[in-house]
Amino acid sequence: MKTIYKLLFTTLFLLILNHSNVFAQGCVAIRSTGGLCTMDEHPDSALKNGSWLFNSNTRYYKSFRHFVGKQEQYYRIDQLHNNVINKVVTQDFGFTRIFNDRWSIALDIPYADNSRSQVQKGNGTRFSTHTFGLGDIRVTGYYWLFNPAKVHQGNIQVGLGAKFATGAYNLQDYFLNADGTKTLGPVDQSIQLGDGGTGVSLELNGYYNFTHKFGLYANYFYLANPRDVNGTPRSASAASAQTIATTGDVESVPDQELFRSGASLAVGHFDFSGGVRYDVLPVRDLFGNSDGFRRPGRIFSAEPGVTYRFKNIAIYGFFPIAIIRDRTQSVPDLRTQAITHTWTQGDAAFADYVVNIGVTVKF
């Protein structure tokens, strides 16, 4: 019985670690980092000798509230009715191979169906652009730092991965002109399927059980994208000399960062969790230059979740609810400010919440 409860808690903890896509919400284009990591199961005898985990995770959000810094621009919805509305549905398929009680490897394959509704500035007509297809694939190897056979109450797992530029980052659609005609141009960065960069990811996942039913979890994720810009124009329109001088005319390839932590309680076949998450698209990258257009930002969220499990199947739902949304100054913003000597800060549209639902199967 002790082993069962320990497995229940740890399974929940591992399930909620990488339901990201999240990891951010809206025009702050933090894309999926995968719906699953190896931590979905604590290493025990049932997972040795080549076990597999399959995870299907669906994420949905609708971003429509505009922020400059932490200040919401209420008038965009209430008065002008010209707010941008992004709707994003991402489907992650994860496959994890458990080699033994310490080593494993995971593959994440994301697909996305994105739309962006906006208003034509000249005539006030609302129109939409769309993208659909494969996102950036990620492969990650994991290792438990402490021997699970000797350390039972808690453990730390390290993951090192590679993110490949398999998702299109230069997709185009038709934009409405003031005279009613349409112009083909690159869609907004927020609904592109990929970022155009090959990156390296680091994960630190840990848990600690106070009892067989109650414990704590924590997860840290960082994706480093060394590539500077991906060559995709910011828009189909000709950029001004100042925009070109500040590198705001071409899309950036940004890093991503995530921290999550909380507590979990097992009750019968259910696992209930409550925690916080902190999603970041940094202003500057860890490696390489940070030129190009990006919407850096931070989202602090509360994240309730529930999992129901039977036999080798777990069905879950996690629902990050935004508490603080902050669109920070980008590098082009700072460079423009230095040239004009005027405070410059772009906006971004954020969601109120994100829906993550899925199923994990052990075989």
Mind listing the pLDDT tens digit for each residue in 150-184?
Answer: 898 999 999 999 999 999 999 999 999 999 999 99
Between the alpha carbon of residue 97 and those of residues 18, 22, 103, 224, the distances in Å are: 16, 24, 9, 24
Please give the residue that has the higher pLDDT: either 265 or 235.
Answer: 265
Mean pLDDT estimate for the chain: 88
Determine which of 237-241, 330-334, 345-349 has the lowest per-residue pLDDT on average: 237-241
pTM for the whole thing? 0.89
Contact (CB, 8 A) for 359 and 316: yes
Alpha-carbon distance of 42 to 61, in angstroms, equals 30
Strand bridging mode 138-144 / 348-362? unpaired
Q: What is the pLDDT of residue 213?
A: 92
Q: Say what the pLDDT of residue 149 is.
A: 85
Residue 22 scores a pLDDT above 90:
no
Residue 209's φ and ψ, nearest 5 degrees, are -95, 120
Q: Name the β-bridge partners of 19.
A: none
The CA-atom distances, in angstroms, between 32 and each of 55, 59, 327, 359 are: 14, 9, 19, 17
pLDDT tens-digit readout, 32-70: 555 433 344 444 444 556 789 999 999 999 999 999 999
| Amino acid at site 109 | I
Q: Which two tokens stand for residue 236?
A: 């189909």
Under CATH, domain 2-362 is a member of which superfamily? monomeric porin ompg (2.40.160.40)
Query: 181 and 163 in contact (C-beta within 8 Å)?
Result: no
What is the reported pLDDT for 6?
44
